[in-house]
Structure 1
Amino acid sequence: MNNILVSIDFDDCDQLIIDKAIELGKAFNAKLWVIHIAAPDPDFVGYDAGPQNERDFRANTLKKEHKQLNDYALQINAQGIKTESLLIQGSTIEMVIEEAKKLNADLIIIGHQEHSFFYKAFFGSVSEQIINKSKIPVLVVPM
């Protein structure tokens, strides 16, 4: 096992995922790729006309997320594990699968939180969809 993709979403349980990734990274002497999939920009944000305050808010949010990813990578590197962080915008499921393929990941580590029936009916389960679409083994860390 050479590459492990670790997908986080900046919730209170990220440390559980990071700890499991460190454990596996050490055990297999693997490189960790810590990624976060940020929401895509709204249609009016970017080069098209749109409210400046919305563009500024999105830029600040992405900057904070990028810093947090780098902090996670530094924490893992301090454990003697090669680590890189990636902040990507797009659809979560598709981007996790795509990045895992690009990085030749041998394993994907994701978290799973139990949600209500109505939440699942409207939004589905990200972890279930990744498991169903991935050709790469997926380790699900319960939250």
Structure 2
Amino acid sequence: MKKVLIAIDYHPISEEVVNAGYDLAKKMGAEVCLIHVLADVAYYGMQYQPFLGYEGYNETAIDLNVASEMREVAEDYLDKAAAHLNDEKVGKHLAEGDTARAILDYAEKWPADLIVMGTHSHSFLEKLFVGTVAAQVLEKTKIPVYMVPVKK
């Protein structure tokens, strides 16, 4: 194993995931890259037009400043997460879109030998109706996945 991709989000458990993934990568002498995925950034900056007293969806009114700010915040987060490891060789990748798909796409493109992810404690209904990113990655990956079980 030469390349380890560690997926992180804004949840505090990401620190445990990063530490576990980095320790594993170092034991294998592998290169490390942190990946963070923003959902479709356009949605962060949507402006809504009221109709029937409801703030409705207007797909043409995207506030590009908000989307740009969201990218800057995410890039800063990745920079700080990488700095936490105190290893200037750690790579960073910011992706946008569906989280599971973006992780899988970048893992193949980079190409990663291992994906490291954390497991959040989701409710039964949330898992049933939405699924989890970890479950989606596990279902579709061709690359081994190292799951870091983290409970609240």
SS at match of 2:33: strand
Give the superposition deviation at 1:72.
1.4
SS at match of 1:42: helix
SS at match of 1:32: strand
User: Any stretches of 5+ residues in structure 1 without a counterpart?
Assistant: none
Deviations 1:77-126 (A, max 9, x none): x2x47211111101111111111011111100011112112211221121
Q: Output the TM-score relative to the length of structure 2.
A: 0.82
Cα distance in 2, alignment partners of residues 73 and 94 from structure 1? 23
Taking only the aligned residue pairs, the percentage that are identical comes to: 28
**What root-mean-square deviation, in Å, do the aligned CA atoms of Structure 1 and Structure 2 show?**
1.9
Give the superposition deviation at 1:29.
1.3
Residue 116, structure 1, aligned to residue 123, structure 2: yes
1:50 counterpart (56, 61, 64): 61
Deviations 1:16-43 (A, max 9, x none): 0111122112101111110001011337
Residue 90, structure 1, aligned to residue 109, structure 2: no
Aligned residue for 2:134? 127
Aligned residue for 2:69? 60
Contact kept in structure 2, 1:25 and 1:81, CA below 8 Å? no
Contact kept in structure 1, 2:41 and 2:70, CA below 8 Å? no
Cα distance in 2, alignment partners of residues 26 and 3 from structure 1? 10
Cα distance in 2, alignment partners of residues 87 and 15 from structure 1? 17
Cα distance in 1, alignment partners of residues 15 and 9 from structure 2? 11
Q: Number of aligned pairs? A: 137
Provide closer, same or farther for how the CA distance between residues 134 and 81 of structure 1 changes in structure 2, counting only shifts above 3 A: farther
Q: Output the TM-score relative to the length of structure 1.
A: 0.86
Aligned residue for 2:112? 105
Cα distance in 1, alignment partners of residues 41 and 73 from structure 2? 16
Q: Give the ranges of 4+ consecutive aligned residues of structure 1 lying more than 2 Å apart after TM superposition.
A: 41-45, 54-58
